[in-house]
Amino acid sequence: MRQAGRYLPEYRATRKRAGDFLTLCKTPELACEVTLQPLARYPLDAAIVFSDILTIPDAMGLGLSLVEGVGPRFANPIRTSADIFRLGIPDPDIDLSYVGNAIRLIKRELNNKVPLIGFCGSPWTVATYMIEGKSNHDFTLVKRMLYDQPKLFHQLLELLAESSLRYLLAQIEAGADTVMIFDTWGGVLSTPAYLEFSLRYLKQIVTDIDDVVPTIVFTKGGGQWLESIANTGCSAVGLDWTVDVAKAKNQIGDRVALQGNMDPAVLRSHPMTIVNEANAIVEAFGAHPGHVFNLGHGITPDIDPDNVAVLIDAVHSRSATILCNSSI
Amino acid sequence: MRQAGRYLPEYRATRKRAGDFLTLCKTPELACEVTLQPLARYPLDAAIVFSDILTIPDAMGLGLSLVEGVGPRFANPIRTSADIFRLGIPDPDIDLSYVGNAIRLIKRELNNKVPLIGFCGSPWTVATYMIEGKSNHDFTLVKRMLYDQPKLFHQLLELLAESSLRYLLAQIEAGADTVMIFDTWGGVLSTPAYLEFSLRYLKQIVTDIDDVVPTIVFTKGGGQWLESIANTGCSAVGLDWTVDVAKAKNQIGDRVALQGNMDPAVLRSHPMTIVNEANAIVEAFGAHPGHVFNLGHGITPDIDPDNVAVLIDAVHSRSATILCNSSI
């Protein structure tokens, strides 16, 4: 998830200078600046480019705006089949060049100290916003299209999968060391619908990236489908905080790395609780060499930055002890 | 889930007469009337008493109001440990007598044509509203209490479990033929937190009901924990629409009945789609004798009542074919 964000005062300062969220994403110098802010503050092991999962539909001409406290809005959402037929695949070097430029800047600044993660949203997740036109947790319009016009909906998803692939390849070309696909809303689908309308396109993108770099697939609410996700051929599976780590290890073993999975809400509690929860997760993964600790979802604006420091310190020290003991 | 509701014009008429939602719940004649409305319209196999999962905290004095389009609000939410210590266990025959009275009226009207389901919310789910004071999908305050003051939080959950038990026993005494516990928000917890703070109390209530009547336990988002839910000793497990029926059958087999699990969003689609989706679910359960078809969650107000008729007809005719074939 994004490491930068409104919980950091230095982010709020840059955001204020930028004027709005999209300008921040689209100005490579500013995107670079906020990407690096968490690394200046914390001893993190990786950076993730500051961007948004809705850059692709914005580049397709849907007119994205992000309003504080309201969420994303599209001025021109998808309403008819004609709206879909007229969509083109964005050229990442032209229509989304700001992301490649930000990555090049960030890589130069990072100077190989830590790897950089690029990302995009999953076709299904991005499609939900394009069709609803905004956040709608009932998914009224997009589910109606899914159920009643599956062929038409597949056309849209196919277009998004191809756009996402080109976008991720451009990020890799610009220097991203690994790429992650965020399927934020896969978990609202029935199992057959998830397999047909979300996982299928996750697999397609992962397959077409063809191990140029490691790939990470994350479906929020996807705990029931971990084996299917691991079978996409991805290098790592992101786990939200509801997933039982021991069970996940049993199900998919060493085939892929696992990333996760602390409840971000823990960051609101006492430092001692944060340490205990972090330790429990690190211990549950044990000496599993492919565990990447992160949060099961994003950091909310109300989190005290000092609590993030406590978390990172706890993860580093507990991991060191476990890895040290296991190599004896 | 509630069969009655705003999707029915006759419900909207009664609701208008009642003035507000809570008056509807608290006036046995009106609660009886809306409970029976769906049965007058559709050939349903059971009725569920019209009520709300927040009647218990209302009876505890938290001052419930339900505002259209906003959701539930408590005038006096739990803010301090003193707020918890001062809570008492409501006497269902006095403080919640309107529910028992409604059940007695409904049973008389039903005249044993179909069984009646009573219900309550799970202690965890009810506690989220009591502490947040309203719907808050970040669960900020309640998770802080869970993580930082687990002993205090257990005191509240214990109180709610005991109140729920007495409430369900009173519903059974009044004539409920089976009772269901709705754990709407269990799915937002980590696995260890779910087991400790939600499932534990579900099990306690189910155990104490001690097979007086069959019990149904439903955790929305609980697809990863079906075995643990089945192990509470309940008679049936409710499945939300994300659960793969074949996998659920494999995991918990014939030990318990299964209830579910169509995505309510399907009811917004074409009648042909509704029939196909209903058939797929009925077929996935096959001749499993303990399958109770229902929706994976509640009906939304925008649903066309004719589509509900299409669904019920499809379920009945497909089930009849399957059961007929299996008995040859």
Q: B-side interface with A, Cβ within 8 Å?
A: 137-140, 143-144, 147-148, 187-194, 221, 223-224, 241-244, 247, 261, 263, 265-266, 268-270, 273, 277, 280, 296, 300, 302
Model confidence at B70, in pLDDT bands (50, 70, 90)? Answer: confident
Q: Is the full-model pTM beyond 0.90?
A: yes
Mutate to test the interface with A, among B135, B183, B190 (most CBs of A within 10 A): B190
Q: Is the ipTM of this complex over 0.90?
A: yes
Output the pLDDT for position A82: 97
The C-alpha angle with vertex A58 and arms to A130 and A49, in degrees rounded to 5, equals 110
Output the pLDDT for position A1: 66
User: In this structure, are residues A194 and A133 in contact, taking their beta carbons and an 8 Å threshold?
Assistant: no
Mutate to test the interface with B, among A6, A196, A239, A242 (most CBs of B within 10 A): A242
Residues 6+ positions from A69 with CB-CB distance below 8 Å: none
Closest CB to B191: pick one of A190, A244, A265. A244
Query: A180 forms bridges with which residues in the sheet?
Result: A119, A216
Tell me which chain B residues have a C-beta less than 8 angstroms from the C-beta of A221.
Answer: 187, 221, 242
Which residues in chain A land under pLDDT 50?
328
Residue A223 tokens read as 């705990």
Smallest CA–CA separation between A285 and chain B, in Å? 14
Neighbour tally for B259: CB within 10 Å: 21
User: In this structure, are residues B191 and B224 in contact, taking their beta carbons and an 8 Å threshold?
Assistant: yes
Output the pLDDT for position A287: 77
Residues A148, B265: C-beta atoms closer than 8 Å: no
Neighbour tally for B286: CB within 10 Å: 15
Residue B214 has pLDDT above 70, yes or no: yes
Please report where in the chains the tokens 């058939």 appear, as a residue: B279
Tell me which chain A residues have a C-beta less than 8 angstroms from the C-beta of B249.
Answer: none
Residue B108 has pLDDT above 90, yes or no: yes
Q: Which of A15, A167, A177, A194 is catalytic?
A: A15
Q: Rounded CA gap, A146 and B132, in Å?
A: 35
Q: Based on the number of CB atoms within 10 Å of its own CB, is A82 exposed (0-12), middle (13-18) or buried (19 or more)?
A: exposed
User: In this structure, are residues A177 and A112 in contact, taking their beta carbons and an 8 Å threshold?
Assistant: no
Q: Which of B22, B24, B44 is nearest to B33 (CA)?
A: B24
Smallest CA–CA separation between B188 and chain A, in Å? 7
Q: Rounded CA gap, B156 and B79, in Å?
A: 12
Query: B47 forms bridges with which residues in the sheet?
Result: B116
Residues A242, B265: C-beta atoms closer than 8 Å: no
Residue B328 has pLDDT above 80, yes or no: no
Mark whether A20 is an active-site residue: no
User: In this structure, are residues B84 and B77 in contact, taking their beta carbons and an 8 Å threshold?
Assistant: no
Q: Rounded CA gap, A53 and B310, in Å?
A: 38
Output the pLDDT for position B1: 67
- Of residues A66 and B274, more confidently modeled: B274
What is the C-alpha radius of gyration for chain B, rounded to an integer number of angstroms?
A: 19
Annotate B163-195 with b (16+ C-beta within 10 A) or e (fewer).
Answer: bbbbbbbbbbebbbbbbbbbbbbbbbbbbebbe
Number of A to B CB contacts under 8 A, please give it.
100
Output the pLDDT for position B313: 97
Residues B148, A269: C-beta atoms closer than 8 Å: yes
Between strands A64-67 and A71-74, the pairing is antiparallel
Smallest CA–CA separation between B181 and chain A, in Å? 21
The one-letter code for the residue type at A6 is R
What one-character-per-residue DSSP string does A189-210 give?
A: S-HHHIIIIIIHHHHHHHHHHT
Residues A139, B265: C-beta atoms closer than 8 Å: yes
Helical (H) or strand (E) element with B137? none
Helical (H) or strand (E) element with B315? helix B305-326
Residues B221, A242: C-beta atoms closer than 8 Å: yes
Between strands B71-74 and B64-67, the pairing is antiparallel
Residues 6+ positions from B285 with CB-CB distance below 8 Å: B245, B249, B258, B291, B293
Domain boundaries defined on chain B: 9-238
Residue B288 has pLDDT above 80, yes or no: no
Q: Is the peptide bond before B76 cis (omega within 30 degrees of 0)?
A: no
Output the pLDDT for position B254: 84
Report the length, in residues, of chain B.
328
Q: What are phi and psi of A47, to 5 degrees?
A: -120, 155
Neighbour tally for A63: CB within 10 Å: 12
Q: Based on the number of CB atoms within 10 Å of its own CB, is B67 exposed (0-12), middle (13-18) or buried (19 or more)?
A: exposed
Output the pLDDT for position A327: 57
pLDDT in tens, B147-179: 999 999 999 999 999 999 999 999 999 999 999
Residue B151 tokens read as 């002993």
Residue B140 tokens read as 């900020």
Residues A143, B244: C-beta atoms closer than 8 Å: no
Helical (H) or strand (E) element with B139? none
Model confidence at B189, in pLDDT bands (50, 70, 90)? Answer: very high
Tell me which chain A residues have a C-beta less than 8 angstroms from the C-beta of B190.
Answer: 241-242, 261, 263, 296
Query: A118 forms bridges with which residues in the sheet?
Result: A179
| C-alpha torsion A204→A206→A209→A214, nearest 10 | 180
What one-character-per-residue DSSP string does B207-232 give?
A: HHHTTSS-EEEEETT-GGGHHHHHTT
Output the pLDDT for position B322: 86
Q: Rounded CA gap, A215 and A209, in Å?
A: 8
The end-to-end CA distance of chain A, in Å, is: 34
The catalytic residues of B are 2, 6, 15, 52, 129
Output the pLDDT for position B231: 97
CATH number of B9-238: 3.20.20.210
Residues A242, B266: C-beta atoms closer than 8 Å: no
In B, minimum Cα distance to A142 occurs at B265
Tell me which chain B residues have a C-beta less than 8 angstroms from the C-beta of A243.
Answer: 191, 224
What is the C-alpha radius of gyration for chain A, rounded to an integer number of angstroms?
A: 19
Q: Rounded CA gap, B205 and B125, in Å?
A: 14
pLDDT in tens, A109-168: 999 999 999 999 999 999 999 999 998 989 999 999 999 999 999 999 999 999 999 999
What one-character-per-residue DSSP string does B227-263 give?
A: HHHHTTT-SEEE--TTS-HHHHHHHHTTTSEEEEEE-
Between strands A291-295 and A116-121, the pairing is unpaired
User: In this structure, are residues B145 and B131 in contact, taking their beta carbons and an 8 Å threshold?
Assistant: yes
Q: Rounded CA gap, A68 and A83, in Å?
A: 27
Q: Rounded CA gap, A219 and A186, in Å?
A: 6
Percentage of chain B modeled with pLDDT above 70: 98
Q: What are phi and psi of A66, to 5 degrees?
A: -125, 110
Residue A259 tokens read as 């990333």
- Of residues B277 and B1, more confidently modeled: B277
Q: Where are the beta strands (DSSP E) in chain A?
A: 47-48, 64-67, 71-74, 116-121, 178-183, 215-219, 236-238, 257-262, 291-295
